[in-house]
Structure 1
Amino acid sequence: MEVERDTVSLGEFEFECGRSIPELEVAYEAYGEFTGDNAVLVCHALTGSAHVAGRHPDDQTDGQARAWWDDIVGPGKAVDTREYYVLCANVPGSCYGTTGPESTNPETGEPYGTDFPAVTVTDWTEAQRRLLDELGIPHLHAVVGGSVGGMNVIEWAKQHPDHVERIAPIAAAARLDVQCLAMDAIARRAITTDDDWQRGDYYGDGPKPTDGLALARQIGHVMYLSKASMEQKFGRRAAGRDAARSFPTDPAAGFFPYRDVESYLDYNAESFVERFDANSYLYLTRAMDNYDLAAGFESDEDALAAFDGEALVMSFTADWHFTASQAEELAEALRGADVAAAHHLVESDHGHDAFLVEPESVGPPLSDFLADGVEGTAVTDTDEPPEDDDPSFAPVHTSLFSD
């Protein structure tokens, strides 16, 4: 599959916060051939990149050894690049080619650091719209994305309702609940209390806040898993003999086992800090936490009133980050705005990560929705709105931490 990888300058860009930067560069990848009405925009999740599918000679140098949705996007796959022209753009504030905190401020010659303007999901959407204008793509067949990328999808229906025919927010919601807000706040504090963070001015040859970023990533990673999936994958097992502890420990630690789940979290954190920027993590989680579909409107329904396309909302039963009941609330808001909408609920133990690791569950309904809308044969709608306290749907949030 041929991949088009490039970076486009959008010139001066004003953010929703009111501040501007002299030049916003946006990194993107595109797959397939544009025929005028077949463009599909894919929105990546929190720490994702434009590298959604395929392989590229630079894969090993940009930290993206494997495309993050390669099981879904490609020839003959759910988002078929033989039929659709598929684009994915890295969002402002990230660190994978698009201008963000670690980028050089042309006015000072130094990295922006925390002088970079605050970014929002609305800013991401506007940057994508301007990128599409630069590429000569006036209209989208569909916008698809998972997690905070799903919020990005919803914002397209709110901000540019006449520019897209179909939206598919997956494992997403109209806003985060308070428990997720709290955990994101703790993750950010892990970074900002690391002595090496230096108030965001850590670029150069000196130490970087790797310990803080590693802890933030571990908190996030636990949020993406379910209680059932953690039990199945790790249990209470001790790690193998060769496993080495990554963090300083208390004197009593030698008496107790270094558990498999600890080793797993440490390993993933170590690989993450090698490829991601701590300031970007702060900026992107703030954007996710701040998002509220109803902002500027009386309700979610009012925010979606101008969109007259179709919508597929997809959720997963064990996802407590964005619950099935939150997805149903979003679907109801779409229906209340007279949008043809289906809520496809997937029985899964994988938690929030299910949208990444279960292509056999995500692919068929997504493929049919892109082809035939909500009438697609694999698209199903929930018969009953799920309840948060019903264990057959989304687990009670605190259950992840209780006995």
Structure 2
Amino acid sequence: MEVEHDTVSLGEFEFECGETIPDLEIEYEAYGEFTGDNAVLVCHALTGSAHVAGTHRSDTGGQARAWWDDIVGAGKAVDTTEYYVVCANVPGSCYGSTGPASENPETGEPYGTDFPPVTVGDWTEAQRALLDELGVPHLHAVVGGSVGGMNVLEWATRHPDHVERIVPIAAAARLDTQCLAIDAVARRAITTDEDWNGGDYYGEDRPNPKDGLALARQLGHVMYLSKASMERKFGRRAAGRDAVRSFPADPAANFFPYRDVESYLDYQAEKFVERFDANSYLYLTRAMDNYDLSSGFESDADALAAFEGEALVMSFTGDWHFTTQQAESLADSLRSADVEAAHHVVDSDHGHDAFLVEPDHVGPPVADFLEAGVAGNAVTDTAGDEEEGESDFAPVHTSLFS
């Protein structure tokens, strides 16, 4: 599979907040051949990159492994022999696109917290500008998971005439209060790290706020897993004899076991701080938390009213970050906007990470929807029965597509 990997300069860019930067660079990867009507945009999740598929790379700032290689590629659900697939790193990230860690050409120093606040709308407009540079006026589909699914919805709102099909996966019209609260604590873990230094920590002689970022990431991992998956993977087991605590512990810790789940979270945090920027984490979580599909409209349905394509909403029963109930509410709004929409619910205990780790259950409905829309054989609308504002739906068991 041939991969086009490049960075495009979009010139001066005005953010939704009204601030501008002199040059916005967007890193992207493209796969397959563009034939005029076969373009598919894939939107990455919070800390993802443009490297969605293909061989491992060492120049992605640490994320060498393609994050959705089981779904995107030759002969896979998003078939790169059939579709021209583009994935762009969003503004504010640290994986090649301009963000807080990038050099401000006007000062010669990293932007840090002088970088403008970013929104999901900014991501969408940057993607639209990138596609213009690539000569892609119209999209067959936009697909994305988690906050990438919010990015998908924003395409239907901002550019309804530019896309035929949308696939928001493990996403919702907005974040609920519990998740807002956890994200707030995660950001405070970063900003209360003394090494954060008001966001000015760049330079060889300045330590990064690794402890704060590590704690923020650990909170994120707890959000991404379900109770069932955590019990199955870790239980209350003590970590192996070779496991060493990554963080300072209280004196009583020597009496109690260092548990397997603690070791897992410490390991994930250690890996994450090596590859991600703390300021970017602050900016991207703010963008996700701020997103509200109905902002500027009377309702979610009103926001989607101009979209005349088709939609496949996917959710997972074990996901408490973006629940099946939130997904059903989104599907209802699409139907109220006269959009042909299916809500495909997968019975899974993997939690929010299911859209990344269960390709056998994500791939078939996505592939069928891209090919045939809501009429696809594997696209099951398990939530289309409505009466007096309530919907009755049952999960599609994962064994259906085993």
Q: What range is the shorter-chain TM-score in?
A: over 0.9
**Corresponding residue SS for 1:67:** coil
In the TM superposition, what is the alpha-carbon distance from 1:66 to its structure 2 partner? Answer: 1.1
Query: Matched residues in 2 for 1:304 and 1:381: separation?
Result: 19
Structure 1 residue 134 corresponds to structure 2 residue 130: no
The amino acid across from 1:363 in the alignment is: G
In the TM superposition, what is the alpha-carbon distance from 1:342 to its structure 2 partner? Answer: 0.2
Off by >6 Å, runs of 4+ in structure 1:
none
Query: Matched residues in 2 for 1:36 and 1:60: separation?
Result: 30
Query: Matched residues in 2 for 1:61 and 1:342: separation?
Result: 35
Aligned residue number for residue 124 of structure 2 = 125
Query: Matched residues in 1 for 2:58 and 2:148: separation?
Result: 22
In the TM superposition, what is the alpha-carbon distance from 1:236 to its structure 2 partner? Answer: 0.2
The amino acid across from 1:20 in the alignment is: T
**Corresponding residue SS for 1:325:** helix
Structure 1 residue 353 corresponds to structure 2 residue 386: no
In the TM superposition, what is the alpha-carbon distance from 1:69 to its structure 2 partner? Answer: 0.1
- Which deviations, in whole Å up to 9, do the C-alpha atoms of 1:14-33 show, x marking residues without a partner? 00000000000000000000
Kept in 1: contact 2:49–2:60 (CA 8 A): no
Query: Matched residues in 2 for 1:202 and 1:60: separation?
Result: 22
The amino acid across from 1:53 in the alignment is: A
In the TM superposition, what is the alpha-carbon distance from 1:362 to its structure 2 partner? Answer: 0.2
* Identity fraction in percent: 82
In the TM superposition, what is the alpha-carbon distance from 1:61 to its structure 2 partner? Answer: 5.9
- Which deviations, in whole Å up to 9, do the C-alpha atoms of 1:75-122 show, x marking residues without a partner? 000000000000000000000000000000000000000000000000
Aligned residue number for residue 245 of structure 1 = 245
Aligned residue number for residue 265 of structure 1 = 265
Aligned residue number for residue 277 of structure 2 = 277
Query: Matched residues in 2 for 1:117 and 1:340: separation?
Result: 37
Aligned residue number for residue 10 of structure 2 = 10
The amino acid across from 1:14 in the alignment is: E
Query: Matched residues in 2 for 1:61 and 1:36: separation?
Result: 29
Aligned residue number for residue 170 of structure 1 = 169
RMSD: 1.4
Query: Matched residues in 1 for 2:81 and 2:109: separation?
Result: 43
Provide TM-score, normalisation by structure 1: 0.95
In the TM superposition, what is the alpha-carbon distance from 1:65 to its structure 2 partner? Answer: 2.4
Query: Matched residues in 2 for 1:333 and 1:124: separation?
Result: 23
- Which deviations, in whole Å up to 9, do the C-alpha atoms of 1:158-212 show, x marking residues without a partner? 0000000000000000000000000000000000000000000000011000000
In the TM superposition, what is the alpha-carbon distance from 1:382 to its structure 2 partner? Answer: 1.4
- Which deviations, in whole Å up to 9, do the C-alpha atoms of 1:220-252 show, x marking residues without a partner? 010000000000000000000000000000000
Query: Matched residues in 1 for 2:4 and 2:243: separation?
Result: 40
**5+ residue gaps, structure 2:** 396-402
In the TM superposition, what is the alpha-carbon distance from 1:59 to its structure 2 partner? Answer: 2.8
The amino acid across from 1:147 in the alignment is: S
* Count of matched residue positions in the alignment of Structure 1 and Structure 2: 389
Query: Matched residues in 2 for 1:9 and 1:295: separation?
Result: 29
Counterparts of residues 377-392 of structure 1 (less than 5 Å):
377-383=377-383
The amino acid across from 2:75 in the alignment is: G
Aligned residue number for residue 369 of structure 1 = 369
Aligned residue number for residue 36 of structure 2 = 36
Query: Matched residues in 2 for 1:225 and 1:170: separation?
Result: 16
- Taking a change above 3 Å as real, the CA distance of residues 166 and 61 of structure 1, as seen in their structure-2 partners, is closer
Counterparts of residues 280-319 of structure 1 (less than 5 Å):
280-319=280-319
In the TM superposition, what is the alpha-carbon distance from 1:60 to its structure 2 partner? Answer: 6.1
The amino acid across from 2:225 in the alignment is: L
Query: Matched residues in 2 for 1:272 and 1:296: separation?
Result: 36
Kept in 1: contact 2:154–2:293 (CA 8 A): yes
**Corresponding residue SS for 2:28:** strand
Aligned residue number for residue 397 of structure 1 = none
Aligned residue number for residue 23 of structure 2 = 23
In the TM superposition, what is the alpha-carbon distance from 1:62 to its structure 2 partner? Answer: 2.5
The amino acid across from 1:46 in the alignment is: L
**Corresponding residue SS for 2:140:** strand
Query: Matched residues in 2 for 1:16 and 1:207: separation?
Result: 32
Query: Matched residues in 2 for 1:55 and 1:154: separation?
Result: 29
In the TM superposition, what is the alpha-carbon distance from 1:13 to its structure 2 partner? Answer: 0.1
Query: Matched residues in 1 for 2:320 and 2:60: separation?
Result: 34
In the TM superposition, what is the alpha-carbon distance from 1:50 to its structure 2 partner? Answer: 0.1
Kept in 1: contact 2:172–2:326 (CA 8 A): yes
Aligned residue number for residue 78 of structure 1 = 77
**Corresponding residue SS for 2:267:** helix
Query: Matched residues in 2 for 1:180 and 1:382: separation?
Result: 26
- Which deviations, in whole Å up to 9, do the C-alpha atoms of 1:344-385 show, x marking residues without a partner? 000000000000000000000000000000000000011468
**5+ residue gaps, structure 1:** 394-403
The amino acid across from 2:321 in the alignment is: H
Aligned residue number for residue 232 of structure 2 = 232
- Which deviations, in whole Å up to 9, do the C-alpha atoms of 1:240-275 show, x marking residues without a partner? 000000000000000000000000000000000000
Provide TM-score, normalisation by structure 2: 0.95
The amino acid across from 2:135 in the alignment is: G
Aligned residue number for residue 64 of structure 1 = 63
Query: Matched residues in 2 for 1:123 and 1:233: separation?
Result: 38
Query: Matched residues in 1 for 2:135 and 2:193: separation?
Result: 45
In the TM superposition, what is the alpha-carbon distance from 1:297 to its structure 2 partner? Answer: 0.4
Query: Matched residues in 1 for 2:224 and 2:61: separation?
Result: 23
**Corresponding residue SS for 1:246:** coil
Aligned residue number for residue 104 of structure 1 = 103
**Corresponding residue SS for 1:180:** helix
- Which deviations, in whole Å up to 9, do the C-alpha atoms of 1:279-305 show, x marking residues without a partner? 000000000000000000000010000
Aligned residue number for residue 399 of structure 1 = none
Kept in 1: contact 2:173–2:292 (CA 8 A): yes
Aligned residue number for residue 396 of structure 1 = none
Aligned residue number for residue 400 of structure 2 = none
